[in-house]
């Protein structure tokens, strides 16, 4: 989505970057920070509140990426494109491996654990099942396509 923001001159905030930045600020790994969020739901709520406030702000970014933003936009009846980019746990691990320099097995284990933690946390906090794609009006299966292809699909859906 960063490319769409650049091409269109839009502002963008990535919830994953916010999460990783907060983990780094606290001198924690992403996995340790995820565990902290699971143990102290107020930590997670504070990050979610910040992202939700951006969604509702008149001066907020045109693009907001987060595992929950589609849910929030749907429940608040915000008329917008709500995109879910889906990849298998194996592909997610490969991308984490490349981004963070981990070996594949470590990335796969961490990805599975984080997904389980997130599923439980979002169900507990908000009653959300992350496997339910109802809030999304565009789902892109991205295991076998590259970033340019994802860009082209989403950008064409946005239109002129």
Q: Note the pLDDT tens digit of each residue in 53-79.
A: 999 999 999 999 998 999 999 999 999
Q: How far apart are CA 116 and CA 99, in angstroms?
A: 21
What is the fold of 2-158? Answer: Rossmann fold (3.40.50)
- Looking at residue 111, its pLDDT comes to 87
Q: Is the pLDDT of residue 116 over 70?
A: yes
**What would the pLDDT profile of 86-98 be if each residue is shown by its tens digit?**
999 999 999 889 9
Domain ranges of the chain: 2-158
Contact in structure between 18 and 50 (CB atoms under 8 Å): yes
**What are residue 49's phi and psi, to 5 degrees?**
-65, -40
**What would the pLDDT profile of 22-36 be if each residue is shown by its tens digit?**
999 999 998 789 889
């Amino acid at each position: 989505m960063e490319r769409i923001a650049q091409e269109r001159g839009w502002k963008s905030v990535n919830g994953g970057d916010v999460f990783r930045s907060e983990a780094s600020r606290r001198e924690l790994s992403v996995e340790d920070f995820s565990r902290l969020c699971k143990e102290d739901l107020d930590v997670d709520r504070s990050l979610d509140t910040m992202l939700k406030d951006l969604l509702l702000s008149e001066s907020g970014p045109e693009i907001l990426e987060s595992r929950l933003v589609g849910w929030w936009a749907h429940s608040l009846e915000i008329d917008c494109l709500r995109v879910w980019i889906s990849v298998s746990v194996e592909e997610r691990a490969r991308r984490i491996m490349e981004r963070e320099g981990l070996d594949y097995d470590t990335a796969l284990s961490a990805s599975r654990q984080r997904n389980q933690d997130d599923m439980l946390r979002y169900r507990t906090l908000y009653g959300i099942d992350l496997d339910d794609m109802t809030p999304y009006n565009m789902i892109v299966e991205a295991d076998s396509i590259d970033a340019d292809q994802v860009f082209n699909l989403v950008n064409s859906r946005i239109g002129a």
